[in-house]
Amino acid sequence: MDTQANPSSLQSYQVVLYDRALHPELFQLKGRKVVKHGAYEFEGWLMGGSHLLRFEHGPVCACELVTDEEHNLPTAGVVTAFFCAGERDFDHKFRDTPVNYMTTVQTETLSENLYLATFDEMVEFARESRALAHRWTDAAGPCLSILDIQRFSREIHAQAYHLLATGGVVLRTQTIFEHA
C-alpha cells in the first residue's frame, strides 16, 4: 500500500506561492509536463496528494505549491501562503511585470458513496482529457491526483484535483498564469 497524503490533510492543506523556482529533488514526482509557448514556459509536477506549477516569463519565475506538508517547506521567496479548507480566491500581480497569477481553491468532504462515484468520474475525466494522473491507496481506499493543463497564447490554465479516501476529501484548484 502506497500511503502518500497526511490523514488529517484537509486541515493542513495549503497553497504556497513562491517568486522563485523550486527544485524537483524536494518532491516525490509521479508525473511531469512541460509546456513552452511563445514567451512563457510552464511546468507542472504531480505528486500523490499535491502538485507544483512553475511559470516563467521574462524575469518572473513563480511556483504554486499545493501540499499537506507542514514542515520542511522552503521559506525563501514565499509571496503568500493560505489554507485550502472551504473556498478561496486569490490574485497576485507580480510587481513591475506583465505577469498575473489567479487561483481558486475549493474543498469538499464527501460521504463514502459519493466519494467513490466522484473518484470513478474523475478517473474517466483524466483518461478522456489525457491529464497527468496518479492513483494510490490510503487506509480508507483509492486516492487520485490529477493535473489538467490548457495552453493559450498569453496564459496557461491548470486544474488540479486531489481525492483522498481518508475523510472523503476532494480538493480542487483552478489556476491561471497570464502575461500581457
What confidence score (pLDDT) does residue 175 get? 98
pLDDT of 68 above 60: yes
pTM given for the model: 0.92
Q: Where along the chain do its domains lie?
A: 9-179
What confidence score (pLDDT) does residue 82 get? 95
Task: Tell me the pLDDT tens digit for each residue of 16-28.
Answer: 999 999 998 889 9
Task: Tell me the pLDDT tens digit for each residue of 141-171.
Answer: 999 999 999 999 899 999 999 999 999 999 9
User: What does pLDDT average to over the chain?
Assistant: 92
pLDDT of 7 above 50: no
Average pLDDT over residues 60-70: 94
Return contacts of 80-89, CB within 8 angstroms, 24+ apart.
80/15, 80/16, 80/17, 81/14, 81/15, 81/16, 81/17, 82/14, 82/15, 83/11, 83/12, 83/13, 83/14, 84/10, 84/13, 84/14, 84/15, 84/171, 84/173, 85/10, 85/11, 85/13, 88/15
Task: Tell me the pLDDT tens digit for each residue of 84-115.
Answer: 988 999 999 998 899 999 999 999 999 999 99
